[in-house]
């Protein structure tokens, strides 16, 4: 049954978004919301996860009437296989991003990446120490070379477990070993999932799900974690700083270049090129006041965290940013870049530039970013943006609202430093009940859900209950626009959180980075569990992805659960066609790994669920509720 199209007010909570949706209507520009209407209703079988296209005896759709595919696979097997591949897509995306950082790091060690450098050498040496590489009395580049070798090894097939499991409490590792869930190698688990889900291989839903968890763990504690750590080594470990967010960070009097995607390898070079005097002078010659770099999605998070570059918007704002009519260029690397951006750019003077061989967009201007020529490429790209300023049509420019202040840069290192050098004050605040627990709110936007309503709603409900919130990914922009990422937001928090954050001068909602940076959150959980001598599943913590859409979010959710973190999703993945798989996700995993998923679309109810969970965990630790 087709539903009534939603009004603009029902699509999003933001005024800047509404203004641009109205402009899109006026100017006849199609957006993600229009296409969602066209695609609704979706295929019921696909929604339930009960379709299979894994061989040409099919495709098959199973139901009560036709309970088995041609090969005999039932709904449990089909749903588990589909979910397994779905998660694996996400793990592959994060991890291949991690690999790109390894390649730049290795090129640097080999002297083949002249424009990159080791910015945080101390962190590089610390990392090397953590994975058992000798650092005493050795040249830094020698250590770096061993570290690159070690991380490449983590992607392969020769290890029994990936190296950063050194950050996981022993009890948790023993659990994984018993379940056959220990991640051995990033690429290995990914490839093995593709093998298992071929026709006639793994035909036991629970067994497939265990391997899905193992693949997700290889992402969280492997590919993503390596991506995050090497990004810090190369571009600097984030420290607290101030910036701004929303569409008004786009400047009418400047050349606006938006970076979109995920990898700092490209965006950091764009930023460096845009700061060179010659190119700024050219912008001024053309009548602009300078060059304004702003971010979208996670590459935006990377630059926001490390360089304080303003954030124009999250996933559902990417089309709308171009609709301001003031964007000279959108420069993308990969992931979450709607192909529609090509069409939207085409409606304006906006140049759409892709930068990697593995993520090309038909109709885009293409550059092939390589470590040894990165800065030259970046200069050419910024020049294209600058020259496009002359083509802008001022009569079509509309930039809504005013930028909102945000505080960013909360890496674990920065948090520990703010706490005076150790996690002890945090442990004490938790023990005293000032901070009752912590929840990471992560992930995306999804046009099926009123834009950012749940992301913001949940964050507000949690801090009221003295639950510290950490945000990453597209939730960052949501929290920022809602005024939650500034120290003054303690006024919206409960008394305990207000006291602690007030004393430290930090917001009750901490920006922890991009999607790969969820690795920072599990690392923190691992460290807290070790400090308390308990398992991660004993901690009063949770994770949530209220408005998720992507395979990557599914991988993040599953590695959180498999690490022992109770995890909320605002809507279910496509698994409801199998009772076995659904039950495993929402309860069975609890017995296996000490945590499970829960699905809830209401912010208050979700906060109450976390509250109950945190109470129970605190009680079990002998703490006041």
Helix (H, G, I), strand (E, B) or coil at 384: helix
Find the helix packing angle between 205-218 and 551-562, rounded to 10°. Answer: 100
553 binds ligand XCC (CB under 6 A): yes
205 binds ligand XCC (CB under 6 A): no
Per-residue tokens: 456: 């913001």
Which one of 439, 444, 463, 522 is in contact with ligand XCC (CB under 6 A)?
444
Task: Find which of ligand XCC, ligand SF4, none residue 71 binds, CB within 5 to 8 Å per kind.
Answer: ligand SF4
Neighbouring C-beta atoms of residue 473, cutoff 10 Å: 34
User: Could you say which residues in the range 60-79 bind ligand SF4, by CB under 6 A?
Assistant: 60, 69-71, 73, 78
**Cα separations (Å) of 461 from 103, 338, 468, 568?**
42, 31, 11, 14
Note whether 436 and 624 are within 8 A (CB): no
Which one of 36, 58, 191, 379 is in contact with ligand SF4 (CB under 6 A)?
58
**Cα separations (Å) of 624 from 109, 502, 612, 614, 620?**
51, 22, 13, 11, 10
- Pick between residue 60 and residue 148 the one whose CB is nearest to ligand SF4: 60
Query: In the complex, what is the shortest distance from the CB of residue 198 to ligand XCC, in angstroms, rounded to a whole number?
Result: 27
- Pick between residue 176 and residue 512 the one whose CB is nearest to ligand XCC: 512
59 binds ligand SF4 (CB under 6 A): yes
558 binds ligand XCC (CB under 6 A): no
Report the C-alpha gap between 110 and 189 in whole angstroms.
29
Task: Find which of ligand SF4, ligand XCC, none residue 473 binds, CB within 5 to 8 Å per kind.
Answer: ligand XCC
Find the helix packing angle between 277-285 and 374-388, rounded to 10°. Answer: 10
Q: Determine the size of the site formed for ligand SF4 (CB under 6 A).
A: 14
Name the DSSP letter for residue 165: G
Residue 243's DSSP bridge partners are 406
Per-residue tokens: 336: 């979450």
Query: In the complex, what is the shortest distance from the CB of residue 260 to ligand XCC, in angstroms, rounded to a whole number?
Result: 9
Query: In the complex, what is the shortest distance from the CB of residue 452 to ligand XCC, in angstroms, rounded to a whole number?
Result: 12
Task: Find which of ligand XCC, ligand SF4, none residue 60 binds, CB within 5 to 8 Å per kind.
Answer: ligand SF4
User: Could you say which residues in the range 34-53 bind ligand SF4, by CB under 6 A?
Assistant: 52-53
205 binds ligand SF4 (CB under 6 A): no
- Pick between residue 576 and residue 599 the one whose CB is nearest to ligand SF4: 576
Q: Pick from 438, 592, 411: which is nearest to 519 by CA?
A: 411
Name the DSSP letter for residue 459: H
443 binds ligand XCC (CB under 6 A): yes
Query: In the complex, what is the shortest distance from the CB of residue 555 to ligand XCC, in angstroms, rounded to a whole number?
Result: 10
What angle is formed at CA 308 by the lines to CA 554 and CA 117, rounded to 5 degrees? 85
Report the C-alpha gap between 535 and 533 in whole angstroms.
7
What angle is formed at CA 217 by the lines to CA 212 and CA 219, rounded to 5 degrees? 100
336 binds ligand XCC (CB under 6 A): yes
Tell me which residues touch ligand XCC (CB under 6 A). 262, 297-298, 314-315, 336, 443-444, 473-474, 515, 550, 552-553
Q: Which residues bind ligand SF4 (CB under 6 A)?
A: 52-55, 57-60, 69-71, 73, 78, 199
């Amino acid at each position: 049954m087709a539903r009534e199209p939603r009004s603009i007010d029902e699509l999003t909570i933001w005024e800047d978004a509404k203004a641009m949706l109205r402009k899109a209507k006026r100017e006849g520009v199609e957006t993600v919301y229009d296409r969602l209407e066209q695609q609704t209703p979706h295929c019921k079988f696909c929604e339930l996860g009960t379709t299979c296209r894994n061989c040409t005896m099919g495709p098959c759709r199973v139901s009560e009437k036709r309970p088995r595919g041609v090969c005999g696979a039932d709904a449990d097997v089909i749903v588990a296989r589909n979910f397994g591949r779905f998660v694996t897509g996400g793990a592959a995306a994060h991890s291949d991003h991690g690999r790109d950082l390894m390649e730049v790091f290795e090129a640097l060690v080999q002297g083949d990446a002249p424009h990159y450098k080791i910015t945080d050498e101390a962190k590089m040496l610390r990392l090397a120490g953590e994975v058992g590489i000798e650092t005493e009395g050795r040249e830094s580049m020698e250590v770096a070379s061993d570290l690159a070798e070690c991380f490449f090894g983590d992607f392969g097939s020769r290890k029994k477990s990936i190296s950063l499991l050194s950050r996981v409490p022993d009890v948790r590792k023993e659990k994984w070993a018993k379940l056959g869930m220990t991640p051995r190698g990033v690429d290995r688990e990914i490839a093995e999932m593709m093998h298992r889900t071929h026709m006639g291989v793994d035909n036991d839903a629970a067994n497939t799900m265990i391997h899905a968890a193992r693949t997700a763990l290889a992402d969280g504690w492997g590919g993503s974690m390596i991506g995050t750590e090497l990004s810090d080594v190369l571009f600097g470990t984030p420290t607290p700083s101030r910036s701004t967010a929303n569409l008004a960070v786009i400047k009418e009097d400047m050349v606006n270049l938006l970076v979109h995607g995920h990898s700092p390898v490209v965006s950091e070079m764009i930023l460096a090129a845009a700061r060179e005097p010659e190119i700024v002078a050219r912008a001024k010659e053309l009548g602009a006041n300078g060059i304004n770099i702003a971010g979208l999605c996670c590459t935006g998070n990377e630059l926001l965290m490390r360089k304080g570059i303003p954030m124009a918007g999250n996933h559902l704002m990417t089309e709308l940013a171009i609709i301001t009519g003031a964007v000279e260029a959108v420069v993308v690397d990969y992931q979450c870049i709607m192909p529609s951006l090509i069409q939207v750019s085409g409606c304006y003077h906006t140049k759409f530039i892709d930068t990697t061989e593995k993520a090309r967009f038909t109709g885009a201007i293409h550059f092939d970013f390589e470590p040894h020529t990165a800065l030259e490429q970046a200069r050419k790209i910024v020049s294209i943006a600058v020259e496009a300023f002359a083509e802008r049509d001022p009569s079509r420019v509309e930039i809504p609202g005013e930028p909102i202040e945000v505080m960013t840069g909360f890496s674990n290192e920065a948090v520990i430093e703010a706490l005076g050098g150790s996690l002890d004050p945090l442990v004490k605040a938790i023990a005293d009940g000032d901070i009752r627990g912590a929840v990471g709110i992560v992930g995306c936007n999804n046009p099926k859900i009123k834009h950012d309503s749940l992301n913001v709603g949940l964050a507000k409900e949690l801090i009221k209950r003295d639950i510290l919130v950490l945000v990453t990914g597209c939730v960052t922009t949501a929290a920022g626009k809602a005024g939650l990422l500034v120290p003054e937001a303690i006024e919206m928090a409960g008394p305990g959180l207000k006291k602690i954050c007030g004393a430290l001068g930090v917001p009750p909602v901490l920006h922890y980075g991009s999607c790969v940076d969820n690795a920072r959150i599990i690392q923190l959980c691992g460290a807290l569990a070790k400090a308390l001598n308990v398992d991660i599943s004993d901690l009063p913590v949770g994770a949530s992805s209220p408005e998720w859409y992507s395979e990557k979010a599914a991988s993040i959710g599953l590695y959180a659960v498999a690490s022992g973190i109770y995890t909320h999703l605002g809507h279910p993945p496509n698994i409801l066609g199998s009772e076995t798989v659904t039950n495993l996700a929402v309860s069975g995993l609890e017995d296996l790994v000490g945590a499970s998923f829960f699905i809830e679309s209401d912010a208050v109810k979700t906060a109450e669920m976390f509250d109950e969970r945190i109470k129970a965990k605190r009680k079990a630790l002998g703490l006041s509720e």
